[in-house]
Structure 1
Amino acid sequence: MSNDAIKKDKNSLYYFRANLGYDINGKKIQKYRSGFKTQKEARGVYSKLLLEEPETASEVTPTSMLFKDYIEEIFLPWYKSQVKIRTYENRLHSIKKHFSYFYKMPVDKIEPIHVQNWQSQLFKTLRVSYIRNVQGIFSLAMDKAILLGLTQKNASKIIGNVKKQKTKIEFWTKEEFEKVISCIYKEDYYQHFLYVSLWFLFMTGLRIGEATAVQWEDINFKTAVLKIDKTLFYKNLQHYEFVEPKTKASNRHIVLEEDTLSILKEWRKVQQNVAPSGFVMSYNGEPTQNHTISYAITRYAKLAGVHRIKIHALRQSHASLLIQMGENPLIIKDRLGHEDIETTLGTYGHLYPNSNFEVASKLKGVIQMSHSITNLDHSPSNQHTVGFLNQKN
């Protein structure tokens, strides 16, 4: 729903003007409603009117509705009610930016060739995984348009989404990570914070939102157990909140090893003396922003002479380390908070190449080799070996 759709009059009552489509002459059909005591009440009537009116208003020609009007006035209000608010806000910019390609077209005039050309344009600058996500939402929008009678076909599904590509996993090896942290001067308070943050992410495999949400009360230093039951949605310094983890499997417990516990204990003591905070990853009393960690990775990777990685790659580095240690995939699945083992193997399975050699080494000598010194099988010889046997005799 457009932020400007619901307005307040001089009597502090809410009103709106809804665009419902076009008449046979191409003129917009609008409905005005007013007198609502709350914005929530006005929004409810607004959304209901948008979704129901096109089906009952005889003067409206739904199929002539421009895609821009459909997205802004019908699809987005509905979509916002279907997903988590952080998901909606994270995707809103991408939707408006990339859907604008179709904005001047009537919904029912979007053809497969238009989608094909759109894909080609996106391919010039964007990753395949990103394009797939954007087109997935576009297909959802077109499916909803069919349901509302605005079009009879989903051109996106006719063309199909772009082919999924295997994502290349980037990570730091143990040796590379050691080079990076060796460049950090812990006697400096801020660098000490960065040291702890990079170590915490590398040694736990937490998603960045999970890590920044961790508070001291989530760590039981006696049992060495870290509880993960929330993630941090950070919009700006004035607006951040705890939200539910990505999946049910994301609610989990991680056992921390002694080195990490020791580093965290030391940091808690320093932090509480300088800028007390309930957040583990905090140097100023507030939760850490992603770009702070990203910038630290860039800076210290350069100092250490290793390749730069993204924040999420610290999680992948943890998984890679566990794989190199020969850890069971099921344990890695639980530690990372994956819903199923297919996700773990599908993402990190190719990091197991040396396992084949290890298995081959372990198989050596397992079976005792022996064979008969006389022929115990007097059944007819295979026709393809008769000649060979006669020559040998």
Structure 2
Amino acid sequence: MAKTRYKGVYKDKNGVIFYQAELGIDKITGKRIQKKGRKTKLGKPFTNLKEAHDEMIRVQTEYNQSDGISDYNMTFERFINSEYKIAYFAGKESSTRLNADVNFRQLVERFSNKKLLNLTVRDVEAYRLYLINESGKKQSYARQIWNRLRLALDYAVRMGYMESNPCRKTEGVTLGKQFADFWTFEEFQKIINVIDTSKYIDRRNFVMIWLMYFTGVRVHEGCALLWKDIDFKEKRLRVNKTLEMWRDEDGHHHFRVKNTTKTPAGMRWIELDEITLDYLKNWKEIQAGGQEDDYIFQTYDGCAYRWTVAGAIKKYAKLAGVKNVSGKALRHSHASYLINVLQKDVLYVARRLGHTNPSITLRHYAHWFNGQGISISDDLTANMMAFGLAGLDKK
């Protein structure tokens, strides 16, 4: 390691800056205490030597103020709520914070008053096996919770509360082979044929499910759509925002539009077929509102959200006798329709779904692909007409 002009601050052979501080002798264990760090208190790598030096001084000061005794009584719950969440949430989107907070509550429920220093490999391994075998959670969700725990304990090590992370001594939660849940075209036809479009809410739900199935928009993209996003003349739909939920200090939920999509590639135009345009025109005429700045799928108290979509899917799936799926499955269903029914190629599917790279499309849907394709509007219209799907909102 290369010395620098700051005592205790070095650069490794790759030029990465770090500090190594001598903190003295632990009054309980009698062991020499050294602290090495490569990141700030917020977990970001040092960008310059002074930053590393300032962090080293902060660590030394905190240790001296504790009279040379580390916080041996730091519990998992206090660590998560008083330190880790503050660092983790820094700079994160509100939707990300909400999702992570659910996982943190689950972890605290499990380990609560367990002292960090007493957390063993057996403790975390038991929890890993519980997530996989007993929790009843999907493997992808179990993996998400496990990764939250692993990263939290990494931070605890960096902050000096633990000597090592027990999660790093076990295996992870693997995803295995994943296949997207979706409705086949036949299942979709059963769904839309049980919806009574003479009722206002059911009419809205009909158009909502239809549009998401035949465009593949993400649920939060679909819920954020305004009437001005529909270009009836050019026969296309603009996707340029998402609807997100945030929680105020009193714990109340609110909604707001974020003028970005999940990725830059998500900012796109999606061409629409004649039948979908007809359903949208008819819905706009009878919708309470129907102005350019109104949500297409607005509710009595504002806007539709993911649970609006999930509730509608559950209701009609039960009536039609088909499997209940998530709102995200409508997006997968659209991909299945493009690939299996219309036989579109990977580049077209990736562009229409707003994927950053076709490799993402292949990772999810490689087992479906066959055929080639360029345009879709005429194909969509012809296919829907052939199956008698036009005019269903007038029955």
Q: Give TM class, smaller chain.
A: 0.7 to 0.9
- My pick for the range that moved more, 311-320 or 247-256, is 247-256
1:269–1:98 distance in 2 versus 1, CA, 3 Å? same
Query: Are 1:309 and 2:318 an aligned pair?
Result: no
Classify the secondary structure of the residue corresponding to 2:270.
Answer: strand
Query: Equivalent residue for 2:177?
Result: 166
CA contact (8 A) 2:216 2:335 kept: yes
| Superposition RMSD in Å | 2.6
1:268–1:101 distance in 2 versus 1, CA, 3 Å? same
From 368, 385, 388, the counterpart of 1:351: 368
CA contact (8 A) 2:131 2:142 kept: yes
Query: Are 1:239 and 2:254 an aligned pair?
Result: yes
Give the 4+ runs in structure 1 shifted more than 4 A.
235-238, 272-277
Query: Are 1:102 and 2:111 an aligned pair?
Result: yes
CA contact (8 A) 2:80 2:104 kept: no
Query: Equivalent residue for 1:67?
Result: 76
Cα distance between partner residues in 2 of 1:222 and 1:118: 56
Counterpart of 2:187, as a letter, is E
Classify the secondary structure of the residue corresponding to 2:302.
Answer: coil
Query: Are 1:295 and 2:324 an aligned pair?
Result: no
From 191, 201, 214, the counterpart of 1:203: 214
Counterpart of 1:161, as a letter, is G
Counterpart of 2:102, as a letter, is H
CA contact (8 A) 2:94 2:246 kept: no
Which runs of structure 2 are paired with 1:368-387 in the superposition (5 Å)?
none
CA positional deviation for 1:292: 2.6
CA contact (8 A) 1:193 1:283 kept: no
Cα distance between partner residues in 1 of 2:202 and 2:282: 14
Of all paired residues, the percent bearing the same amino acid is 29
CA contact (8 A) 1:275 1:283 kept: no
Residues 12-63 of structure 1: per-residue CA shift (max 9 Å, x gap): xxxxxxxxxxx979xxxxxxxxxxxxxxxxxxxxxx9xx8664452424135
Which runs of structure 2 are paired with 1:1-393 in the superposition (5 Å)?
54-59=62-67, 60-123=69-132, 124-125=134-135, 126-234=137-245, 239-243=254-258, 244-272=260-288, 278-284=294-300, 286-324=302-340, 325-352=342-369, 355=370
CA positional deviation for 1:344: 1.1
Cα distance between partner residues in 2 of 1:217 and 1:56: 62
1:257–1:198 distance in 2 versus 1, CA, 3 Å? same
CA positional deviation for 1:151: 1.6
Q: What is the count of residue pairs matched by the alignment?
A: 309
Cα distance between partner residues in 2 of 1:225 and 1:99: 47
Cα distance between partner residues in 1 of 2:64 and 2:367: 56
CA positional deviation for 1:107: 1.9
Gaps of 5+ in 2: 1-25, 29-54, 373-395
CA contact (8 A) 2:346 2:358 kept: yes
CA positional deviation for 1:145: 1.5
1:182–1:54 distance in 2 versus 1, CA, 3 Å? same
Rg larger in structure: 1
CA contact (8 A) 1:271 1:277 kept: no
Gaps of 5+ in 1: 1-22, 26-47, 360-393
Counterpart of 1:154, as a letter, is N
Residues 222-261 of structure 1: per-residue CA shift (max 9 Å, x gap): 2122221211113589611112322222222211122111
Cα distance between partner residues in 1 of 2:76 and 2:62: 15
CA positional deviation for 1:135: 1.4
1:85–1:238 distance in 2 versus 1, CA, 3 Å? closer
